[in-house]
A and B are shown apart, each in its own frame.
Chain A
Amino acid sequence: MRVFNEIAVVTTICIKSIPQRFWASFSTVVAVGLVVTVLLAFLAMAAGFQQTLRGTGTKDMAILMRAGSQAELNSGVTRDQARLIEEAPGVMKDADGKPLVSPELYVIVDGVKKTAVPADGNLKKAPRSNLTLRGLGPAGIAVRPGLKIVEGRAFKPGTNELMVGRALQKDFAGLNVGDTVKLGNSNWLVVGAFELGGSVFESELWADTPEVQDLFHRQNVFQSIRARLTGPDALKALSDYAANDPQLKLDVTTEADYYAQQASRTSDLIQKLGWPLAIAMAFGALAGALNTMYSSVAARAQEIATLRCIGFSGTSSFIGTLLESLVLALVGGIVGTLVTWVLFDGLTGSTLSGASFSQIVFTFHLTPAVAVQGIILALVVGLVGGVFPAWRAARIPIVEAYGTP
């Protein structure tokens, strides 16, 4: 209790003296806040990205790709293989007895972000970003029961018509229903917009497979096969079937697992960019914190010496100084978190997905787990920036109580 009283009053003295060094303390708070903002922006991006990809795909949809291809873009599947899958066990059939299997094409086209549209509105001169164009088989829409056409209609098979994901439509120019889009040498008409549970599909353009095959001269080749599964055991049945057929050298997983894996790869990458940058900046903030705290200790040298004279321990000066530093850092951390929240949370961004090399639209998401990491970084800066000055505070000679203030 006595020790607690002692530390409490020294801490009060330290913290109440912060306004006496207002600008130094303020700049420390700002520096720490900036570090935390940068870190959290990256982590919120990773979290939002992960959330978008995680929300993509369901457990009752199988995705089949060439063995070892890891991502749709690298995969190649033949028409014969697609036909074999239509007869595979575990695959659901529609009311007419037709298997719910969609061989799909996955190609990269380009588009212009709304933010990149030049002042004169001429899209031809604008810098272009990669987009995913997916060719759907005849059952492509039937295999996705969550699909909602929110504007216009689905494309008609055998025509150069496009459906646009809602997220993509918001972020990219010239993708409104009725717009004409030039892909390769042919013109395509946007006839509808769709939503699919906030998933990564909402960042795609969809069209009829044969048309896309024509456009890219890829007759008889697909990137993946989607197949609706009949139930929880169906995946196993389907994989066993594929494993026993030498013609079917395919990897079989659920769509949910596939996107979860894609998500962790890309969000790992974002975090690997964010942390080193934030840590490099943290060293700058640390220098500021050290400077502030050393000047704080110098300014309070006589007060500390007087307390020692009265009988206070060096430990209480140490802890008081350390807590002052931690409080400054914590305030910086909270400010940084709030700034990130105001500026970034809910903000829509799009980034190149590592696996698909095309743009995925996602929303920054400042989760509590992300915020905690920012606060921890701030406290580490406060701890390191406080411990050396605190050590000096504890070693101030008591005789410094005398002399001019």
Chain B
Amino acid sequence: MTGQTLIHLQDVSKRFVKGKDTITIFDHLGLSIPAGDFVAVMGPSGSGKTTLLNLLGGIDQPTEGSITFDGGRVDTLTEGQLARWRAHNVGFIFQFYNLMPTLSAARNVELPLLLTSFSRAERKRRVEAALSLVGLAERADHYPREMSGGQQQRVAIARALISDPKLLLCDEPTGDLDRTTADEILAMLRLLNQEMGKTIVMVTHDPEAAKYARRTLHLDKGRFTERELVA
């Protein structure tokens, strides 16, 4: 299933300056993620998991080193270019779903499409398709507060998918859900990886969740220790 390199981090360093102190999160880190991969990232709190996702998703820039996506450099883009790049290439899924409470499910899913030139009718068609894909076609007009956590996360997945990005980044996507619901969401992510070829990087604390991935990266003190999963 996996193929050419989609994301490549080379000699990436990331430092935060806090007052007089400089915190080094990554020091000359390297990482390659092939297209179609499903990577779980685990590690203790503060080990830099979220920072890694931010770098992969073009939300934050490395202090040093290069990040390549689909053969093109990402770390050299300006803020505005990055925003457009994210809109086309990355779907984000958050622990707390991050839906707009004042918008219906359909309007939430539509958000990324507002940055495209699709017509209103085309946007509507795509939103319906995405909501059907996550099994929420009937919930289009419902507001987030009227839905369970699992349903909200499925709306968030539909939103992440709507502009057909190659990469999905998930930060603790099941961290706020019970086991059964978590398994539903994880099964859905696996399906997206296997059937639609989405490349997924998922940060999780939950070893059970990591089992859905093709491989797990352990992040500790800014270094990876990779372990292939036993099938």
Binding site for B on A (CB under 8 A): 1-2, 5-6, 9, 12-13, 16-17, 302-303, 306-313, 398-399, 401-405
Q: Is B80 touching A313 in the complex (CB atoms < 8 A)? A: yes
B116 nearest in chain A by CB position: A2
Number of interface residues of B (CB under 8 A): 29
Please, could you name 14 A-B residue pairs with CB atoms under 8 Å apart, sorted by A? Answer: A2-B117, A9-B103, A16-B102, A303-B101, A309-B59, A309-B86, A310-B86, A310-B115, A311-B88, A311-B112, A312-B111, A398-B60, A401-B92, A405-B98
How far, in angstroms, from A303 to B97 measured CA to CA in the complex?
11
Query: B75 in the interface, Cβ–Cβ < 8 Å?
Result: no
Q: Is B98 touching A5 in the complex (CB atoms < 8 A)? A: no
Q: Is B115 touching A311 in the complex (CB atoms < 8 A)? A: yes
Q: Please judge, given known A-B contacts A2-B116, A5-B114, A404-B96, whether A17 and B86 are in contact too, CB under 8 Å.
A: no
How far, in angstroms, from A6 to B87 measured CA to CA in the complex?
13
B176 nearest in chain A by CB position: A404
B224 vs chain A, min Cβ distance (A)? 21
How far, in angstroms, from A308 to B101 measured CA to CA in the complex?
16
Question: Interface of chain A, helix or strand or loop or mixed?
Answer: helix
Chain B residue numbers with a CB within 8 Å of A17 are 101-102
Chain A residue numbers with a CB within 8 Å of B181 are none
Q: Please judge, given known A-B contacts A2-B117, A309-B59, A310-B87, whether A303 and B100 are in contact too, CB under 8 Å.
A: yes
Q: Is A310 touching B111 in the complex (CB atoms < 8 A)? A: yes
B171 nearest in chain A by CB position: A402
A42 vs chain B, min Cβ distance (A)? 39
Q: Is B86 touching A307 in the complex (CB atoms < 8 A)? A: no
Chain B residue numbers with a CB within 8 Å of A404 are 96
B95 vs chain A, min Cβ distance (A)? 7
Greatest chain B CB density within 10 A among A307, A402, A404 is at A402
Chain B residue numbers with a CB within 8 Å of A405 are 96, 98
Binding site for A on B (CB under 8 A): 50, 54, 57, 59-60, 80, 83-84, 86-88, 92, 94-96, 98, 100-103, 107, 111-112, 114-117, 159, 171
Q: Is B83 touching A312 in the complex (CB atoms < 8 A)? A: yes
A323 vs chain B, min Cβ distance (A)? 15
A189 vs chain B, min Cβ distance (A)? 73
> Ordered nearest first, which 8 A-B pairs have the shortest CB separation?
A311-B87, A16-B102, A5-B114, A306-B98, A398-B59, A311-B86, A311-B83, A405-B96
Q: Is B60 touching A399 in the complex (CB atoms < 8 A)? A: yes
B86 nearest in chain A by CB position: A311
Q: Please judge, given known A-B contacts A1-B117, A312-B83, A313-B83, whether A307 and B96 are in contact too, CB under 8 Å.
A: no
A-B contact count (CB 8 A): 73
Q: Is B102 touching A13 in the complex (CB atoms < 8 A)? A: yes
A296 vs chain B, min Cβ distance (A)? 12
Q: Please judge, given known A-B contacts A402-B95, A402-B171, whether A312 and B59 are in contact too, CB under 8 Å.
A: no
Chain B residue numbers with a CB within 8 Å of A1 are 117
A310 nearest in chain B by CB position: B112
How far, in angstroms, from A302 to B100 measured CA to CA in the complex?
9
Q: Is B94 touching A311 in the complex (CB atoms < 8 A)? A: no
Q: Is A13 touching B86 in the complex (CB atoms < 8 A)? A: no
A231 vs chain B, min Cβ distance (A)? 69
Chain B residue numbers with a CB within 8 Å of A310 are 86-87, 92, 111-112, 115, 159
Q: Please judge, given known A-B contacts A13-B103, A16-B102, A311-B84, whether A402 and B111 are in contact too, CB under 8 Å.
A: no
B60 nearest in chain A by CB position: A399
Chain A residue numbers with a CB within 8 Å of B159 are 310
How far, in angstroms, from A13 to B95 measured CA to CA in the complex?
21
A307 nearest in chain B by CB position: B111
Q: Is A401 touching B115 in the complex (CB atoms < 8 A)? A: no
Greatest chain B CB density within 10 A among A9, A311, A405 is at A311
How far, in angstroms, from A307 to B80 measured CA to CA in the complex?
14
B11 vs chain A, min Cβ distance (A)? 23
A7 nearest in chain B by CB position: B114
How far, in angstroms, from A404 to B54 measured CA to CA in the complex?
17
Chain B residue numbers with a CB within 8 Å of A5 are 114-115
Which residue of B94, B100, B116 is within 8 Å of A402 (Cβ)?
A: B94
Chain A residue numbers with a CB within 8 Å of B116 are 2
